[in-house]
Amino acid sequence: MRISVIGLGYVGSVCSAAFAKEGHTVIGVDVDSVKVELINKGKSPIVEKGLGELIKEGVEANRLKATTDLHYAIANSDLTIIAVGTPSQKNGSLDLRYIQDTAVAIGKELQSKNSYHVVTMRSTVLPKTGKDVVISLIEKISGKKHGVDFGYASNPEFLRESSAIEDFYHPPFTVVGAEDLKVFEIFKQLYSFLDAPLFETQIEVAEMIKYASNSWHAAKITFANEIGMICKELEIDSHEVMRIFCEDRKLNISSYYLKPGFAFGGSCLPKDLRAITYKAKELDITIPMMEHIMPSNEWQIKRVYLDFIQPLPSKKVAFLGISFKADTDDLRESPQLALAEMLIGKGYELSIYDKNVLLAKKEGALKTVLESDLQHINIRLNENLEETIEKADIIILGNNSKEFRDIPNRYFHKYIVDLMRIVDKKSKENYQGICW
């Protein structure tokens, strides 16, 4: 495959050298003549372990060259990789000037090109950049049609400095976001040498994955540091704590809790988080990340009311499942219960159904609590699911109990707010997920 790479910085240089090693003909493009000269001499323009050797190998095999001439590069390639910088502006927003300039330049070059050309984004850009900025500019300037005359893909990089070559050849996965089946086929061929899964997805999903990944890495480092600060004050070996912590791959290092949805609750998480953050205060330690977890969790409850319930004209609500988790009657620190109480306080006609809470009401320890502290909930409990729903115009799916799975299909005429993503896809406008 003939590949052109625009931007010979960190990502562009690594990609150029690696694809040349895999037998592709690669033309690197940069406005910096120094970088171009270095690569053409078989030298690396950046300090990165093993990159100099790869560049030298590609140049000597006549598979890698660099130029400042974009016209030459695009005319002699089938796929163009954009790897220009996307720096921060003073207010934190992304500076897209280099992306825009590159899109305009590519559009001009595609005006005179008759063959199908694929444009690939490796630079880190926010969701919608591909469609709203790059594709839009290329279509406007070139007069060509996306999906017909040229293809576009978001192919985010996950390279770490000092181990970029290793990361390129041993990725956890490769992500390709596109709308054209032809593009996916090209990328399957391009990455056929990798022993890693290739995920084909939407352009915006691919763009967002990079931000989710980097934000999560930042959160992990911050969390470990905050635990470390507490451990140091208590004279505990923080590295031993986190070493053992990371051995739990069922919950701690897993996908189990990483599914967007409603707030957390129950008898453990809120209580223990409060305890450790209070202990930090006693030790006169500031742990901003952990201190803001509970306020963020509480906001998840409030925003359901503010964004999804309050704007609706009706005040008749069926709340299905108020225990914090399906298949349990536990109402301790249940965010579903907190939301129900908020709606009651706002004057909503609330009818509640939860078979496990109903069972506990008859013969469990919860009976006394419902008859005293939670009497306002007790009088709104309904034993019949169908009756509960029929009374309401709005349905809140509080947990993912199996008996609720078919409700979005059966009651499509009612407005449904799903806190747990009971079904995979939104089938209609009046069925809303709070984080999806």
Q: Across the beta sheet with 415-418, what order do the strands follow?
A: 349-353, 316-320, 394-397, 415-418, 431-433
8 Å CB contact between 110 and 142: yes
Beta bridge partners of 3: 26, 79
What are the C-alpha distances in Å from 212 to residues 215, 217, 269, 314, 347?
A: 5, 9, 23, 36, 38
Q: Across the beta sheet with 25-29, what order do the strands follow?
A: 64-67, 25-29, 2-6, 79-82, 117-121, 150-154, 174-177, 198-201
Provide the 10 A C-beta neighbour count for residue 90.
Answer: 6
Q: Could you give the CA distance from residue 193 to residue 168 in angstroms, rounded to a whole number? A: 11
Q: Could you give the CA distance from residue 218 to residue 118 in angstroms, rounded to a whole number? A: 33
Beta bridge partners of 82: 6, 121
In sequence order, which residues have a C-beta less than 8 Å from that of residue 391 and are 6 or more positions away?
316, 318, 349, 351
DSSP symbols for 180-229? -HHHHHHHHHHTTT--S-EEEE-HHHHHHHHHHHHHHHHHHHHHHHHHHH
CA 52, chain centre distance (Å): 34
Burial of 423 (0-12, 13-18, 19+ CB in 10 A): middle
Q: Could you give the CA distance from residue 395 to residue 318 in angstroms, rounded to a whole number? A: 5
- Residue 268 annotated among the catalytic residues of the structure: yes
Q: Could you give the CA distance from residue 280 to residue 306 in angstroms, rounded to a whole number? A: 33
Q: Which residue in the list 15, 231, 246, 268 is annotated as catalytic?
A: 268
- Which residues form the catalytic set? 268
